[in-house]
Structure 1
Amino acid sequence: MDPTARRRRTVLIATIVGGLILLLLIGVGVYGLIRGPQTTEPDDPTPTDGPTATSPTLVPAEPEPVVALRGPEDFAVAVAEALFTWDTSSGYGPADYAQMLADVTADTEADGAASDVRAYLPTAEVWAQLRTHQTRQQLTIDTIEIPAAWDDAVAQAVPGQIPDGAVAYTITGTRYRAGYWGTDPVTTTQPVAFTVFLTCTPERNPAPPPADPISDTCLLLRLSQLDNPLR
């Protein structure tokens, strides 16, 4: 074969291979955006034609107020759902979803709790990227319980060290994230675990009888790091 022709053929093959590798890297990068940051030893979900058989139906979700007049366990569930339920195509941003939790945060822990919440939500820059894939997220809770470490902390605390009515709930569940890779639907799942620290105090119900005269007003204190809960 003519050396010039062989050289041209070699350059052409190298160009094609390089282009395929670039396309593969772009695809992996887009899929990673939808999948989100990983924790240790995550599952390896693959793109599907729609939600998996075990996933909930993901619908557009606007920021919804967190109801504070609940028992402590119900309030912890509401906080967890507010943390993990968002939709980049709703027209709202991460700050709007974070505000729902700021509205039910104790004043004494406002700065710390705000920092905790931001760690759970995408940054504005990542949100803008996820929005191009119409990414939305939801949480299914598997277990919720007061961890043994919290009971130990309460038993060892000196008077006044822990706020009145304070309690911790460790929650485990599955995070579902869905979006589009080009025109193809993509759904991924990831197990999560975290602890919600909150406080609830009794408050008289202004509603007339036969309403329960006493209800709990709950406020968020802090959140553990994601996947680093109290046990």
Structure 2
Amino acid sequence: MRNLTWRQIAVILGCVLTFATLAIGVYGLVRGPEATEATPAPRTTGEVASIPDAATPVVTLEDRALPHTTDPIAYARAIATSLFDWDTSLGFLPTDYAAAVLADADPSGEEAPGLVADVATYLPSVDQWLDLGAMEVRQSIEIDDAYVPESWTAAVRQAHGHLRPGTTAVTVTGTRHRSGVWNGESAESSHPVSFTVFVACEPSFDRCHVLRLSQLDNLLR
């Protein structure tokens, strides 16, 4: 029997979460708001905004590639770091920071369009990015926990074997830290964040790949 699409999976998860008295349907949680326009193609990893002087160190994003692992929790933590750790003063754009996650999307291509829309909601728009860049804003995440939510077990059971083998939901909780310059003075802020990552690992693939992301702060419990 062919694998279920995410829309079919959403119906199953919605039933499970309704039974568990959750306030939201999983499909709405998973897909997030639809993108209003096409997301620009990510620039090649390591591309910089301008050619540096010989004495200026070259800053690249090559080390942001997601790990090749079969551990869904370790993989979800790496996704969180890749999405939340960025610096507007280095000459990159939001699409550069999204590239590592999008490059590791579902190899079948089924979930790639949805993942593009999901990732776009985790990063500032280009206009927002330029405003933040004027204030030299940097962001990082301090991860508190990453775990498979209890409701996922019920969802898998309700799917009766139709979920792609190795598909797992991992909920990540933590604190987002930002720093920058406001009116000539250093400023910092911190805010709790939480979300759920849907990944597919063995036996469907030889390593984990990211399928979808929940809406930010709209996690699967």
TM-score (norm 1): 0.65
2-structure distance, mates of 1:72, 1:142: 16
Query: Residues 16-37 of structure 1: CA distance to partner in whole angstroms, max 9, x if unpaired?
Result: xxxxxxxxxxxxxxxxxxxxxx
Match of 1:183 in 2: 184
1:115 partnered with 2:122: no
Considering only aligned residues, what root-mean-square deviation do their CA atoms show, in Å? 1.7
Query: Residues 25-78 of structure 1: CA distance to partner in whole angstroms, max 9, x if unpaired?
Result: xxxxxxxxxxxxxxxxxxxxxxxxxxxxxxxxxxxx853111133421111110
Bigger radius of gyration: 1
User: Within 5 Å, which residues of 2 pair with 1:144-223?
Assistant: 144-160=146-162, 162-201=163-202, 217-223=207-213
User: Within 5 Å, which residues of 2 pair with 1:43-192?
Assistant: 63=61, 64-106=64-106, 107-160=109-162, 162-192=163-193
Unaligned runs of 5+ in 2: 1-58
Deviates more, 1:163-172 or 1:151-160: 151-160
Unaligned runs of 5+ in 1: 1-60, 204-214
1-structure distance, mates of 2:170, 2:72: 9
CA deviation after TM superposition for structure 1 residue 127, in Å = 0.3
TM-score (norm 2): 0.68
2-structure distance, mates of 1:88, 1:189: 17
SS at match of 2:202: strand
Give the % identical residues. Answer: 41
Which of 210, 214, 218 lines up with 1:224 in the alignment? 214
SS at match of 2:156: helix
SS at match of 1:92: coil
SS at match of 1:80: helix
CA deviation after TM superposition for structure 1 residue 159, in Å = 2.9
Query: Residues 77-133 of structure 1: CA distance to partner in whole angstroms, max 9, x if unpaired?
Result: 100111111110111100011111111110221000110000000000100100000
SS at match of 2:190: strand
CA deviation after TM superposition for structure 1 residue 226, in Å = 0.5
Deviant stretches of 4+, over 6 Å: none
CA deviation after TM superposition for structure 1 residue 182, in Å = 2.6
